[in-house]
Amino acid sequence: MAFGDYQIELSLGALGGVLPAHPFDAADLEQRALAALPPELQTYVAGGAGDESTQRANVAAFERHALVPRMFRASAERDLSVELFGRRYDSPLLLAPVGVVGLCTPDQHGDIHAAEVAAATGVPYIGSTLMSDPLEDVAAAAPEASKWFQLYTPKNRDLAASLVQRAERAGYEAIVVTLDTWVPGWRPRDLASGNFPQLRGKVLANYTSDPVFQQMTGPDPDPGTVVMTWVGTFGHPVTWEDLPWLRSLTDLPLIVKGVCHPDDARRALDGGVDGIYCSNHGGRQANGGGAALTWLPEVAAAVDGRAPVIFDSGVRTGADVVKAIALGADAVAIGRPYAYALALGGVAGGVHLVRSLLAEADLVMAVDGYPTLADLGPEALRSVHL
């Protein structure tokens, strides 16, 4: 079945008197989900760094690229599949690591539900270090899902090694090391409302369940000890000197997230990483950097096919997915939208979001005459000034 056939399913449902239960439009989804979330999560998920101009630019940047329609190339069959690290996936879509997704569903098991969305759709889920359930429980709850583990490198190297080994043992298929968040960015909305879930002891399940972290806190720690131990170890500022050590931690594919400069991409590949993840963390870390999409073509050119390039930040539609591929990404991740979809509609809402994005991407490729991802290169796009 083609991804685009989701529209037939929805239309047949409507003929039978059942209208879709979940939103289609990203802004509508955000608005309705925020109304469903408690105030402290609203600012944490929706907010970003500084005056949030980078966050807005991430989304707006997609409109400055126009896909060029090509006719007489119509194809009833499309192929959105991609090979990443030796495994074939039906689509290039991924669920980005979102640290508070665990809190976004009323039962506080949002990490498990994100993995369930992955299992239902075939789209890999990248689990954050910051989970509400231990990574083993998330893996066990959705054994069918393709799961990758995102590491926030702690200061304690034994803890880093332990987290990576646990992820390996639990069946996670890749390690994504996030480089841009060893210190939280300046986030006025959260500062104004006193919001930082981790400082309230939330989303620390991967730490409290870890034997190395347990040694650091001592037995039966009170909540204050847990939080202060976490604060003390959370963010190691990773430098090039750390790369050989990070590489030595695992034989799984090692991906580095937050890379926006071609020299950084090249040097990371020379240092043995297997994938480059171009992202500005959805504009949550450093304001003033402009759209992440701006950096993608140079990063992809520097990688030059040596490794997969993953992109996120500002992806809101299926057409955005297609444009990011045309600008050089091999795979494209969504962040905030799936947190909103889970908050509003649970697993069914998340599945609807993923299926809708893939249906739109498939149908855009169908109509515009780009039947496979390989057909999408820079010549498929024109820069436009709005």
Question: Does residue 275 touch ligand FNR according to CB under 6 A?
Answer: no
| DSSP codes, 200-231 | GTTT-HHHHT-HHHHHHH-SS--HHHHHHHHH
Q: Are 327 and 378 in contact (CB under 8 A)?
A: yes
Question: Does residue 335 touch ligand FNR according to CB under 6 A?
Answer: yes
Q: What string marks each residue from 49 to 78 as x (binds ligand FNR by CB under 6 A) or -?
A: ---------x--------------------
Tokens linked to 379: 């010549």
Q: Phi first, then psi: what are they for 271, rounded to 5°?
A: -85, 5
Q: What string marks each residue from 237 to 266 as x (binds ligand FNR by CB under 6 A) or -?
A: --------------------x---------
Secondary structure of residue 23 in the 3-state scheme: coil
Question: Does residue 355 touch ligand FNR according to CB under 6 A?
Answer: no
Residue from 4, 92, 97, 127 binding ligand FNR (CB under 6 A):
97
Q: Are 146 and 122 in contact (CB under 8 A)?
A: yes
Total residues at interface with ligand FNR (CB under 6 A):
24
Nearer to ligand FNR, 176 or 366 (CB): 176
In the complex, which residue's CB is closest to ligand FNR?
335
Q: Are 371 and 75 in contact (CB under 8 A)?
A: yes
- Segment interacting with ligand FNR, rule: CB under 6 A, options 191-199, 320-328, 334-342, 355-363: 334-342
- Is 261 marked active-site? no
Question: Does residue 128 touch ligand FNR according to CB under 6 A?
Answer: yes
- Segment interacting with ligand FNR, rule: CB under 6 A, options 84-92, 106-114, 294-302, 333-341: 333-341
Question: Does residue 344 touch ligand FNR according to CB under 6 A?
Answer: no
Q: How far is the CB of 76 from ligand FNR (least distance, A)?
A: 32
**d(C-alpha 329, C-alpha 105), whole Å:** 30
Q: How far is the CB of 87 from ligand FNR (least distance, A)?
A: 21
For the chain, the C-alpha Rg in angstroms (whole number) is 20
Question: Does residue 98 touch ligand FNR according to CB under 6 A?
Answer: yes
Helix axes 110-121, 336-368, angle to 10 degrees: 20
One-letter identity of residue 114:
A
Least Cα distance to 329 among 291, 297, 372, 364 occurs for: 297
CB atoms within 10 A of CB 306: 13
Question: Does residue 99 touch ligand FNR according to CB under 6 A?
Answer: yes
Instruction: Single out the catalytic residue among 22, 113, 281, 352.
Output: 281
Q: Phi first, then psi: what are they for 172, rounded to 5°?
A: -70, 145
Residue from 132, 150, 317, 356 binding ligand FNR (CB under 6 A):
150
Asked whether the CA dihedral 162, 163, 167, 170 is positive or negative, the reply is positive
Tokens linked to 241: 């000197």
Q: What string marks each residue from 279 to 318 as x (binds ligand FNR by CB under 6 A) or -?
A: x-xx-x---------------------------xxxx---
Bridge partner list, 133: none
- Segment interacting with ligand FNR, rule: CB under 6 A, options 96-104, 158-166, 220-228, 364-372: 96-104
Q: What string marks each residue from 193 to 222 as x (binds ligand FNR by CB under 6 A) or -?
A: ------------------------------
Least Cα distance to 325 among 286, 365, 280 occurs for: 365
Largest CA-CA distance found in the chain, in angstroms, rounded: 69
Q: How far is the CB of 73 from ligand FNR (least distance, A)?
A: 30
Q: Are 197 and 248 in contact (CB under 8 A)?
A: no
Catalytic machinery residues = 281
- Residue ranges that bind ligand FNR, judged by CB under 6 A: 44-45, 58, 96-100, 128, 130, 150, 178, 257, 279, 281-282, 284, 312-315, 335-336, 339
